[in-house]
Amino acid sequence: MSERQVETEIEGPIARVWLNRPDKLNAITFDLLDGLVDAAATIERERGVRAVLLEGRGSSFCAGLDFGAVLTRKREVARRFLANPLRGTNGFQRPLWVWRELPVPVIALTRGHVFGGGIQLALAADFRFTTPDCQWSVMEAKWGLVPDMSGTVPLGDLVPADVAKRLVLTGEVFSGEKAVDYGVASGVHEDPSVPAEELVDQILERSPDAVAAGKRLMDRTRRSTPRRAFRLERRFQQAMMRSANTREARRAGTAKEAPAFGPRTFG
């Protein structure tokens, strides 16, 4: 039996997800795309999970699409390229966008290469911590293509229009330190797990319902009208006021104790 190309391990409130093609720099195949969807579905069902760490086995996060494995299967490419009318994504976009839709924070830990589909997967995470010498690139320009795996939306959210266009038009390869300067990465460290775990510790101190609602609220209001944003604020706040985890947060805060939250109920 071949090894899974995406591996998931859940330890208490933390889910760890690895791209598992280290000999191919975790380049993307159809099996890897399917594995990403399955991993996200597993995590969503586990309401005790509070945060996700996403990284690649071996020396690289993800070097992009495995052209040899994917483009030789023309019928499968055509089938997956068709958009699902209900979701609005196709079979190349959905495996990445599911991480943005997951009701818990997703933190990508990057090293080595973050190219093409790899940078789009990292952008689908809520936070990205990188090594200084990690190489990043919206590599599609090199091959006469445009990014088409959902990456244009989070890239446009993160950086000014001129920076986004520069990266998409040129395919520039830039370092982890430059990724922070551009606003593409959240932080840089020789060991990205250090700032990632510090952030997870902070998240675990908060109600899982408030975290899930806060993530969804910020994602949905970023491109909405003020009227719709205010409506979502009211709706989500009403849900928080009914949450047992909110009551526990208030109790613990008043008593100056560490809260004992239950499983996530929002999302």
Residues 94 and 183 grouped into a single domain: yes
- pTM of the predicted structure, to 2 decimals: 0.94
267 in any annotated domain: no
34 in any annotated domain: yes
Express as a percent the part of the chain with pLDDT over 70: 99
Under the banding of pLDDT at 50, 70 and 90, the label for residue 2 is low
Residues 171 and 60 grouped into a single domain: yes
260 in any annotated domain: no
User: How many structural domains are present in the chain?
Assistant: 2
| H/E element, 78 | helix 74-81
DSSP 202: H
Tokens 């760890």, residue located: 16
| H/E element, 197 | helix 193-204
| Per-residue pLDDT tens digits for 211-228 | 999 999 999 999 899 999
Residues 171 and 66 grouped into a single domain: yes
pLDDT for res 116: 97
Distance (Å, whole) CA 148 – CA 131: 26
CATH number of the domain to which 110 belongs: 3.90.226.10
266 in any annotated domain: no
265 in any annotated domain: no
Residues 218 and 145 grouped into a single domain: no
Q: Please answer whether residues 208 and 261 qualify as being in contact, where contact means their C-beta atoms are separated by less than 8 angstroms.
A: yes
263 in any annotated domain: no
pLDDT for res 1: 42
Domain range spanning residue 232?
206-255
Instruction: Please choose, from the candidates 198, 202, 227, 196, the residue with its C-alpha nearest in 3D space to the C-alpha of residue 214.
Output: 202
Residues 72 and 52 grouped into a single domain: yes
Residues 147 and 113 grouped into a single domain: yes
Residues 158 and 191 grouped into a single domain: yes
